[in-house]
């Protein structure tokens, strides 16, 4: 008859403990923290929300996605129910606190960047066919000059919650700032729900907070030519956004005409192929990636160095690179 002694029982117990430890040893987070990921086509692009939380990550991710949808519907100048559509097409004053607040912030960025960032560039988008009606032929100088008369931050007036036109044919677009704002709003919703770590990606406008198992979040920076990845940024509690000439453009006579306009000339900005900005929030990263693109490497780097928490990488069409002083801190 088999006889078991006390020291054998201890061996069995030790083996069981070893198995349990191996199964949980790689996870730096509490075993009970759960993960959810949601992706959908939204805001004219592909959006993803990744969430780590103790409680109901599916619900948190869905709420964040819904908030981005709400923001987009309000700021989308092509949505007939949006106050921006009414302003642009019928001259109705915008009477919305949220829209006016973002317009106010846009005005401040316009002033800081010497006019490089401008929400009144919509007539140029229309003229060059970047407003959902592709033209793919450069307009002539007279047409550009005519459109430029409708561009300028001085052609709208923002008072409290209200935006009015100072010139009848001015039109606005939040296309270079609303996506970033939507990402910030999604992050706010997630933090309110007690989420400890998340990544929100709205077509390349990204905000990360907290960490994921294994450490900081990793964001790949797309190379402006060729589609590969140039760098990988490691971050937590930061936003990353890129403006580039390679997603929305047409070629004519061997020349590239893209969608990021210089509000001063009426032509697509030249001298830059891509700008990647790291900032404390996604709205700032989104807006300044456009502004720095227009400003060009020297002016943009000089401004970035004065801005707390803002770093940038600028690549020219010849693939020369310019970086602000702290950018390398984020690289793996």
Partner 1 sequence: MERLKGTSIYDYLVILISVAIAAAMTIVFFRMRTSGAEYAGVAVNGEMQKELLLSKDYLLELDSMNIEVKNGRIRITSSECPRKICVESGWISSPGQSLICIPNRTVVFIRGHEKDKIYDAVTY
Q: How far apart are CA 74 and CA 81, in angstroms?
A: 8
Nearer to partner 1, 126 or 201 (CB): 201
Q: How far apart are CA 226 and CA 266, in angstroms?
A: 28
> Footprint of partner 1 on this chain (CB under 8 A)?
2-5, 7-8, 11-12, 14-16, 18-19, 22-23, 26, 39-41, 44-46, 48, 50, 134, 199, 201, 204-206, 208, 212-214, 217-222, 226-229, 232-233, 240-242, 244, 247-249, 276
Tell me how far, at minimum, the Cβ of 185 lies from partner 1, in Å: 18
Nearer to partner 1, 107 or 317 (CB): 317
Tell me how far, at minimum, the Cβ of 316 lies from partner 1, in Å: 17
Residue 27 buriedness (CB in 10 A; 0-12 / 13-18 / 19+): exposed
* Residue 163 falls in which region: left (phi positive, over 0), alpha (psi -120 to 50) or beta: beta
Residue-wise DSSP of 104-126: HHHHHHHHHTTTSS-TT-HHHHH
Q: Do residues 259 and 249 make contact, with C-beta atoms less than 8 angstroms apart?
A: yes
Nearer to partner 1, 100 or 190 (CB): 190
Nearer to partner 1, 25 or 318 (CB): 25
Q: Do residues 185 and 68 make contact, with C-beta atoms less than 8 angstroms apart?
A: yes
Q: Do residues 54 and 34 make contact, with C-beta atoms less than 8 angstroms apart?
A: yes
Tell me how far, at minimum, the Cβ of 259 lies from partner 1, in Å: 11
Tell me how far, at minimum, the Cβ of 232 lies from partner 1, in Å: 5
Nearer to partner 1, 39 or 159 (CB): 39
Q: Do residues 43 and 179 make contact, with C-beta atoms less than 8 angstroms apart?
A: yes
Tell me how far, at minimum, the Cβ of 189 lies from partner 1, in Å: 18
Nearer to partner 1, 67 or 222 (CB): 222
Integer-rounded Cα Rg, in Å, for the chain is: 24
Tell me how far, at minimum, the Cβ of 203 lies from partner 1, in Å: 8
């Amino acid at each position: 008859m088999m006889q078991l002694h006390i020291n054998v029982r201890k061996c069995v117990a030790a083996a069981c403990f070893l198995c349990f430890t191996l199964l949980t040893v790689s996870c730096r987070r509490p075993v009970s923290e759960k993960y959810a990921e949601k992706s959908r086509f939204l805001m004219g692009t592909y959006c993803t929300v990744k969430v780590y939380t103790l409680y109901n990550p599916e619900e948190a991710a869905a709420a964040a996605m819904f908030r981005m949808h709400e923001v987009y519907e309000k700021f989308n100048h092509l949505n007939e129910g949006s106050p921006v559509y009414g302003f642009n097409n019928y001259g109705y004053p915008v009477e919305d606190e949220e829209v006016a607040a973002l317009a106010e912030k846009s005005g401040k960025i316009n002033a800081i960047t010497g006019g490089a960032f401008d929400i009144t560039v919509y007539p140029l988008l229309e003229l060059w066919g970047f407003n959902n009606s592709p033209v793919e032929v450069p307009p002539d100088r007279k047409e550009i000059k005519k459109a430029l008369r409708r561009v300028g931050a001085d052609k709208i007036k923002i008072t409290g919650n209200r935006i009015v036109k100072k010139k009848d044919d001015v039109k606005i677009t939040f296309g270079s700032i609303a996506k970033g704002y939507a990402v910030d709003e999604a992050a706010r919703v997630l933090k309110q729900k007690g989420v400890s770590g998340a990544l929100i990606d709205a077509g390349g406008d990204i905000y990360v907070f907290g960490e994921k198992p294994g450490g900081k979040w990793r964001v790949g920076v797309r190379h402006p030519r060729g589609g590969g990845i140039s760098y990988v940024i490691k971050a937590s509690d930061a936003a990353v956004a890129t403006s580039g000439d390679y997603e929305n453009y047409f070629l004519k006579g061997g020349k590239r005409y893209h969608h990021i306009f210089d509000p001063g000339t009426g032509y697509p900005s030249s001298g830059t192929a891509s700008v990647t900005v790291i900032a404390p929030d996604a709205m700032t990263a989104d807006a300044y990636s456009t502004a720095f693109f227009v400003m060009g490497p020297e002016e943009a780097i000089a401004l970035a160095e004065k801005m707390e928490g803002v770093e940038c990488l600028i690549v020219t069409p010849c693939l020369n690179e310019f970086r602000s002083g702290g950018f390398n801190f984020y690289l793996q």
